[in-house]
């Protein structure tokens, strides 16, 4: 649903701009929004892969229709009255997409001489735009039969604007003299006196438009398959030249604007235009950089999935400042307070943060936590893991061991001095060994600890990776009780770009006492803990009907062993 809404909104933008702004084609905007290749593939594959294609085409076509109606309604109002600000905003959108296109070209590792294609495309579009003429105006009143066939032909020709970048819908219709007739028909669609006629005209036009788009898309898809890199360079040319063409068609060749420059280009309007240009540029640049669901680069995924973190701060900025100031105060005066007092300040802050982030951990198995010193061992899914466990253990003070590179963020970076976190660094073997020994001594002296032995949490979601045994040495030193923790869905908090309420789960499993593991080596103990957490994960997934093939096999083997 979220993806469909995003496509629908982009469709509105494509429809509005292609109708209302002469000089920009629908396909050019689709390129800027990162939808062009998906659009071509969906149209050309509508019969061979109907379900997937229609899931993309329905929201984008609905959005296109809404945008077209908005464009037709506002073209004679907002754009005609304020051509400079509207044009500046659109140019900002287009230019904001250029950095992303250069990145895509770099990733194709195509030869630089392909930039010749970019230059040829730019020159061709400028020549076409300069030579294009406005045909004699057409109206749809008292149409003869042959005029309906001509209208269908115009639909076939203008369908190319949807799939061939740089071929502008408004420019083609202006050349044929159909632009204002089509705009007027869309604008008068709800007119009771001509509703049947208007629907007939638009129906003929849209059917021919769709047929033309399908066949042109087939040809383009075949060409893209053989020359994708060249197509990307061509698309870059369409984007680079678009601001020139839009300025030419919407400003320089707009007699209404040129004859009334003092009215349409006052100092106030120029200032507003500059601001709208910057806004348009930033919106498109940031959208492409951080919110494209098709961009799976690690650094972009991380930034995109931290929207909830930024949302938490933006939702309660004063509260966030107060929390940071309070934590920094206790960090600075740590010697004046006991560990338990500092932990309570930290745990109370976590409760506030989780609530602001709309993250509400569900806690299970709390009765499995015995008296005495405890060593909590948990699977690792993401940066919310510690916050979820801290809320679950609000009244049970503990410290933990952490990778120094993973806590270099606001709030996280106060924890080492605040609650005596032991930091480890990849490759620093002596320092890491010393941290493990300090943790063992703390456990022996009655301080609870938490460790994540799993090797990383990249893309593991609710699955497990290898458990490393190095962090288990303190358990043997202190002869303490181990409490396995099974986290479920905690990765979603900072692993999905969503602001919805989320309910990760924290399961405390039955304790493993020293007598149970004293004769095991560390590797066997790591496997024992991992197997118990994995059993719980499979149990949860079974309840939620989320088992994969491998997990089903594990479950079957477990059931067979129990029967034997």
Q: How far is CA 12 from CA 69, 94, 178, in A?
A: 9, 16, 22
Model confidence at 475, in pLDDT bands (50, 70, 90)?
very high
Q: What is d(CA 322, CA 459) in angstroms, rounded to the nearest whole number?
A: 34
pLDDT in tens, 334-349: 999 999 999 999 999 9
- CA–CA separation, 181 and 185 (whole Å): 6
Sign of the Cα pseudo-torsion (13, 75, 250, 126, in order)? positive
Q: How confident is the model at residue 190 (pLDDT cuts 50, 70, 90)?
A: low
pLDDT for 290: 56
Residues 434, 531, single domain; the answer is yes
Q: Is 127 exposed, middle or buried (0-12, 13-18, 19+ CB in 10 A)?
A: exposed
Residue 37: CB partners within 8 Å, gap ≥ 6? 224
Domain-terminating residue out of 295, 318, 338: 295
Is the per-residue pLDDT at 373 higher than 50? yes
**Phi/psi-derived region of residue 510, left when phi > 0, alpha when psi is between -120 and 50, beta in every other case:** beta
Arithmetic mean of pLDDT, 534-556: 73
3-class state of residue 507 by DSSP: strand
What's the average model confidence in pLDDT over 218-235? 71
What pLDDT score was predicted for residue 92?
83
One domain for residues 289 and 357: no
Nearest CA to 165 among 138, 202, 128, 111?
128
By the 8 A CB rule, do 484 and 526 touch?
no
Considering the domain architecture, whether residues 421 and 535 belong to the same structural domain is answered as yes
Q: How far apart are CA 216 and CA 287, in angstroms?
A: 29
Paired sense of beta strands 505-508 and 481-488, if any:
antiparallel
* Total tally of structural domains belonging to the chain: 2
Whether the predicted pLDDT of 273 surpasses 80: yes
pLDDT at 391 over 50: yes
Q: Which two tokens stand for residue 123?
A: 């020159």
**Cα separation values, 5 from 56, 62, 428, Å:** 10, 11, 48
Residue 444 makes CB contacts below 8 A (sequence gap 6+) with 477, 478, 480
Exposed e or buried b for every residue in 505-535, given b needs 16+ CB within 10 A?
bbbbbebbeeeebeeeebeebbebbbebbbb
- Residue 365 is predicted with a pLDDT of 95
In a domain, 476, yes or no: yes
**Which of 396, 449, 402 has the alpha carbon at shortest distance from 425?**
402
Same domain, 369 and 458: yes
Measured between alpha carbons, how far is 346 from 509 in angstroms, rounded to an integer? Answer: 25
Residues 214 and 239 in one domain: yes
- The H or E element that residue 484 is part of is strand 481-488
Percent of the chain whose pLDDT exceeds 70:
74
Greater pLDDT, 165 or 89: 89
* 72/84: higher pLDDT: 84
pLDDT at 5 (0 to 100): 80
Average pLDDT over residues 241-267: 71
Last residue of a domain, one of 273, 295, 317: 295
Give the pLDDT confidence score for residue 169 in this predicted structure.
Answer: 67
Weakest mean pLDDT among 109-123, 145-159, 204-218, 515-529: 109-123
Contact 43, 163 (CB under 8 A): yes
Laid out side by side, the sheet with 374-378 consists of 362-364, 505-508, 481-488, 374-378, 448-451, 398-403, 422-424
Would 70 be classed as within a structural domain?
yes
The CATH number that applies at residue 462 is 3.40.1130
For residue 79, what are the contacts with CB-CB under 8 A and spacing of at least 6?
20, 21, 86, 250
- pTM for the structure as a whole: 0.53
pLDDT at 293: 46
Q: For residue 302, is it within any domain?
A: no
Query: Could you tell me which residue, 191 or 274, shows the higher pLDDT?
Result: 274
If you write DSSP's letter for every residue of 233-271 in order, what string do you get?
A: HHHHHHHHHHHHHHHIIIIIT-HHHHHTHHHHS-HHHHH
Q: What is the pLDDT of residue 479?
A: 94
Instruction: Please tell me whether residues 146 and 254 are part of one structural domain.
Output: yes
Query: Are both 29 and 175 inside the same structural domain?
Result: yes
Report yes or no: 512 and 375 within 8 Å, Cβ to Cβ. no
pLDDT at 442: 94
Report the 3 state secondary structure along 83-150: HHHHHHHHHHHHHHCHHHHHHHHHHHCCCHHHHHHHHHHHHHHHHHHHHCCCCCCCCCCCCCHHHHHH
Q: Which residue has the tokens 């030419």?
A: 248
Residue from 211, 121, 129 nearest 165 by CA = 121
**Claim to verify: residue 212 and residue 170 sit in the same structural domain:** yes
**Are residues 123 and 75 part of one domain?**
yes
Residues 334 and 420 grouped into a single domain: yes
CB 355 within 8 A of CB 499: no
Helix or strand run (H / E) with residue 152: helix 145-158
In whole angstroms, what is the distance from residue 152 CA to residue 19 CA? 18
Q: What is the DSSP string of 45-60?
A: TTTTSHHHHHHHHHHH
What per-residue confidence (pLDDT) applies to 176?
A: 61
Residues 6+ apart with CB under 8 A from 409: 383
Count of other CB atoms within 10 angstroms of residue 497 = 17
In a domain, 564, yes or no: no
Q: Which residue reads 């360079």 in tokens?
A: 233
Give the pLDDT score at 118: 82
Least confident of 239-243, 380-384, 491-495: 239-243
Read off the tokens for 54.
């229609």
- Highest-confidence range of 13-22, 288-297, 425-434, by mean pLDDT? 425-434
Q: Which helix (H) or strand (E) holds 460?
A: none
Check residues 274 and 495 and name the one with the higher pLDDT: 274
With respect to residue 559, please indicate whether it lies within any of the assigned structural domains.
no
For residue 563, tell me if it sits in a domain: no
246 lies in some domain: yes
pLDDT (tens digit, 9 = 90+) per residue, 155-184? Answer: 887 777 676 654 556 656 655 656 667 777
Range in 15-24, 342-351, 459-468 with the lowest mean pLDDT:
15-24
Q: Which domain holds residue 243?
A: 2-295
Q: Report which DSSP code applies to 76.
A: I
Neighbours of 293 (CB within 10 A): 12
**Residue 300 domain-assigned?**
no
For residues 289 and 430, state if they share a domain.
no
Which of the listed residues 229, 263, 295 is the one where a domain comes to its end? 295
| Contact yes or no for 323/411 (Cβ under 8 A) | yes
Looking at the structure, do residues 284 and 153 belong to the same domain, yes or no?
yes
What is the structure's pLDDT at 486?
96
Q: What is the pLDDT of residues 44-57, one digit of tens each?
A: 888 888 888 888 88
């Amino acid at each position: 649903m979220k993806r469909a809404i995003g496509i629908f909104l982009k469709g509105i933008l494509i429809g509005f701009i292609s109708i209302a702004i002469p000089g920009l084609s629908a396909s050019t905007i689709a390129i800027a929004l990162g939808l062009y290749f998906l659009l071509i593939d969906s149209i050309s594959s509508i019969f061979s892969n109907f379900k997937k294609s229609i899931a993309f085409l329905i929201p984008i076509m609905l959005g296109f229709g809404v945008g077209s109606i908005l464009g037709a309604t506002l073209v004679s109002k907002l754009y005609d009255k304020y051509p400079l600000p509207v044009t500046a905003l659109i140019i900002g959108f287009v230019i904001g997409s250029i950095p992303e296109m250069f990145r895509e070209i770099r990733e194709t590792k195509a030869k630089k001489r392909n930039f010749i294609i970019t230059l040829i495309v730019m020159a061709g579009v400028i020549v076409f735009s300069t030579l294009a003429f406005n045909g004699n105006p057409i109206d749809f009143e008292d149409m003869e039969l042959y005029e309906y066939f001509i209208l269908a032909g115009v639909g076939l020709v203008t369908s190319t604007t949807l799939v061939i970048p740089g071929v502008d819908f408004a420019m083609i219709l202006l050349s044929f003299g159909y632009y204002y007739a089509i705009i007027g028909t869309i604008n008068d669609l709800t007119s009771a006196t001509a509703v049947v006629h208007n629907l007939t005209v638009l129906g003929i036009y849209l059917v021919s438009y769709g047929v033309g788009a399908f066949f042109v898309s087939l040809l383009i898809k075949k060409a893209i398959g053989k020359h994708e890199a060249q197509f990307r360079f061509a698309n870059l040319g369409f984007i680079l030249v678009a601001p020139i063409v839009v300025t030419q068609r919407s400003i320089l060749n707009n007699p209404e604007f040129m004859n009334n420059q003092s009215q349409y280009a006052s100092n106030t309007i120029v200032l507003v235009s500059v601001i709208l240009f910057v806004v348009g540029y930033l919106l498109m640049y940031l959208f492409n950089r951080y919110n494209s669901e098709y961009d799976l680069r690690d650094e972009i995924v991380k930034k995109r999935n931290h929207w909830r973190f930024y949302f938490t701060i933006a939702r309660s900025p004063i509260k966030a400042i107060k929390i940071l100031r309070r934590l920094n105060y206790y960090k600075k005066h740590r010697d004046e307070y006991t560990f338990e007092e500092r932990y309570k300040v930290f745990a109370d802050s976590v409760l506030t943060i989780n609530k602001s982030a709309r993250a509400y951990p569900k806690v299970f198995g709390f009765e499995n936590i015995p008296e005495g010193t405890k060593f909590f061992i948990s699977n690792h899914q993401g940066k919310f893991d510690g916050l979820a466990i801290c809320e679950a253990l609000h009244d049970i003070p503990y410290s933990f061991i952490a990778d120094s590179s993973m806590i270099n963020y606001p709030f996280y970076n106060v924890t080492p001095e605040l609650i005596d976190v032991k930091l480890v660094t990849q490759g620093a073997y002596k320092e890491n060994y010393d941290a493990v020994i300090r943790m063992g001594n703390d456990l022996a002296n009655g301080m609870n600890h938490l460790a994540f032995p799993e090797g990383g949490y990249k893309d593991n979601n609710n699955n497990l990776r290898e458990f490393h045994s190095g962090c288990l040495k303190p358990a043997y030193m202190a002869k303490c009780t181990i409490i396995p923790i099974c986290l479920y869905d905690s990765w979603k908090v900072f692993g999905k770009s969503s602001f919805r309420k989320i309910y990760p789960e924290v399961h405390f499993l039955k304790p493993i006492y020293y007598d149970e593991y004293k004769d095991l080596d560390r590797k066997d103990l790591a496997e024992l803990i991992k197997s118990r957490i994995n059993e719980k994960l499979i149990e949860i997934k079974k309840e939620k009907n989320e088992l994969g093939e491998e997990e089903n096999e594990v479950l079957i083997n477990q059931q067979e062993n129990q029967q034997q």
